[in-house]
């Protein structure tokens, strides 16, 4: 009550929504959910970060992610993804695997992805493997200096990730996915990926919508340790388009904080970050982050970890997937 009276007196209680507040050239104070309030511990100055969470129909479900979606991420680290599905989700059948060189500039660097379908769960899956080895990681970092590439009429995306997607899309994914869509027109599609594969998955899901192959309401996009993928305009378009989109971040995972937002080619995360500030074992809590990108949630960590990048849901899932998900 005291805070509200102070706001009235100071003339700051003029906007009840963050976006309206920013349009007035003021900041939104998350601490007290008020426009222009000072002093404020946590402020928002970009509309992209106005607090917003998915609706109940598209809520995050730890059990579903852990027992279903996570299997697709793990399977991507096996050259025969069916081994993981046979072990953990036998109704899912691999349709196509793609393994192509995806580096336009540097030495040969392979990218791996697959499509699968499940007639019991009535779903199609498209999953992208993450960065493999120091050479590819170096190329990703160096390619940051090549800049961004326009993504239709919705901003721009990191060129290396866009190229990597197109190499795989034209290397067999497109034809197979169109065949699966023809066979199972009413199925939803899970688009998933880890690390670089998470960024590619984000672009892939967006491409499916832009090309008219799928509507956004039929897509579940879930990534692990996804680096920043596109610019502010791309992130804004993404958030306005996809009702079901989650970026899962484990504790101090370093990949979720690169490339940097600063610099000539600013990149921004899209929603919705799910931050597990723990070991991610069963029953551990998680934070649904209401802001898209900035000094919120996992970005408030003072140090980062490479080990956390491969350790999700209580295991080193890269090694687990390579072993066939025993």
What stretches of the chain adopt beta strand conformation (E)?
28-29, 34-35, 43-44, 93-101, 110-118, 123-128, 148-150, 156-158, 188-194, 219-224, 245-250, 273-276, 287-288, 311-312, 315-316
- The answer to whether residue 203 is domain-embedded is yes
The DSSP call for residue 157 is: E
- The answer to whether residue 160 is domain-embedded is yes
Q: Are 19 and 68 members of one domain?
A: no
- The answer to whether residue 277 is domain-embedded is yes
Averaged pLDDT score across all residues of the chain? 89
Place of tokens 């795989």: 168
Q: Are 215 and 238 members of one domain?
A: yes
Residue-range definition of the domain harbouring residue 177: 52-323
- The answer to whether residue 95 is domain-embedded is yes
Q: Are 267 and 201 members of one domain?
A: yes
- The answer to whether residue 2 is domain-embedded is no
Q: Are 165 and 65 members of one domain?
A: yes
Q: Are 183 and 70 members of one domain?
A: yes
Query: Which CATH number does the domain housing residue 57 bear?
Result: 3.40.50.1820
Q: Are 28 and 59 members of one domain?
A: no
Q: How far apart are CA 292 and CA 271, in angstroms?
A: 5
Please give the pLDDT value at position 326.
97
0.75 surpassed by pTM: yes
The DSSP call for residue 227 is: P
- The answer to whether residue 3 is domain-embedded is no
- The answer to whether residue 40 is domain-embedded is yes
The DSSP call for residue 316 is: E
Q: Are 38 and 75 members of one domain?
A: no
Q: Are 68 and 149 members of one domain?
A: yes
What stretches of 85-224 adopt beta strand conformation (E)?
93-101, 110-118, 123-128, 148-150, 156-158, 188-194, 219-224
- The answer to whether residue 137 is domain-embedded is yes
Average pLDDT over every residue of 318-324: 97
Q: Are 18 and 73 members of one domain?
A: no
Please give the pLDDT value at position 16.
57
Number of structural domains found in the chain? 2
Give the 3-state secondary structure of residue 324: coil
Predicted confidence (pLDDT) per residue in 237-262, tens digit: 999 999 999 999 999 998 898 887 77
Q: Are 21 and 83 members of one domain?
A: no
Place of tokens 């507040």: 21
Please give the pLDDT value at position 225.
95
By CB atoms closer than 10 A (0-12, 13-18, 19+), residue 116 is buried
Place of tokens 């009550």: 1
Q: Are 102 and 174 members of one domain?
A: yes
Q: Are 41 and 136 members of one domain?
A: no
Joined tokens for residue 312:
């999700």
DSSP letters of 196-219?
HHHHHHHHHHHHHHHTTSS-GGGE
Predicted confidence (pLDDT) per residue in 162-218, tens digit: 999 999 999 999 999 999 999 999 999 999 999 999 999 999 999 999 999 999 999
């Amino acid at each position: 009550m005291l805070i509200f009276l102070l706001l009235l007196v100071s003339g700051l209680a003029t906007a009840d929504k963050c976006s309206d507040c920013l349009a007035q050239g003021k900041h939104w104070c998350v601490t007290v959910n008020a426009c222009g309030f000072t002093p404020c511990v946590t402020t928002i100055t970009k509309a992209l970060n106005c607090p917003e969470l998915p609706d109940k129909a598209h809520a995050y479900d730890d059990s579903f992610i852990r027992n279903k979606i996570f299997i697709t991420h793990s399977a991507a680290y096996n050259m025969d993804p069916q081994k993981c599905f046979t072990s953990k989700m036998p109704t899912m059948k691999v349709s196509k695997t793609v393994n192509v060189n995806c580096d336009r500039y540097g030495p040969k660097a392979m990218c791996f992805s697959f499509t699968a379908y499940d007639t019991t769960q009535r779903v199609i899956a498209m999953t992208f493997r993450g960065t493999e080895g120091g050479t590819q990681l170096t190329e990703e970092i160096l390619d940051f200096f090549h800049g961004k590439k326009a993504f239709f009429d919705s901003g721009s995306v990191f060129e290396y990730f866009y190229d990597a997607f197109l190499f795989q899309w034209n290397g067999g994914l497109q034809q197979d996915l169109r065949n699966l869509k023809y066979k199972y027109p009413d199925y939803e599609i899970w688009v998933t990926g880890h690390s670089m594969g998470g960024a590619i998955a984000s672009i892939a899901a967006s491409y499916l919508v832009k090309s008219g192959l799928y509507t956004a309401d039929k897509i579940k996009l879930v990534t692990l340790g996804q680096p920043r993928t596109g610019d502010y305009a791309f992130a804004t378009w993404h958030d306005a388009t996809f009702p079901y989109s989650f970026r899962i971040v484990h504790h101090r995972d370093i990949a979720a904080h690169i490339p940097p937002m600063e610099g000539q080619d600013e990149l921004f995360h899209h929603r919705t970050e799910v931050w597990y500030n723990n070991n991610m074992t069963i029953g551990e809590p998680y934070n649904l982050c209401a802001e898209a990108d900035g000094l919120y949630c996992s970005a408030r960590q003072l140090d980062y970890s490479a080990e956390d990048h491969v350790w999700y849901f209580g295991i080193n899932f890269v090694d687990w997937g390579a072993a066939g998900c025993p």
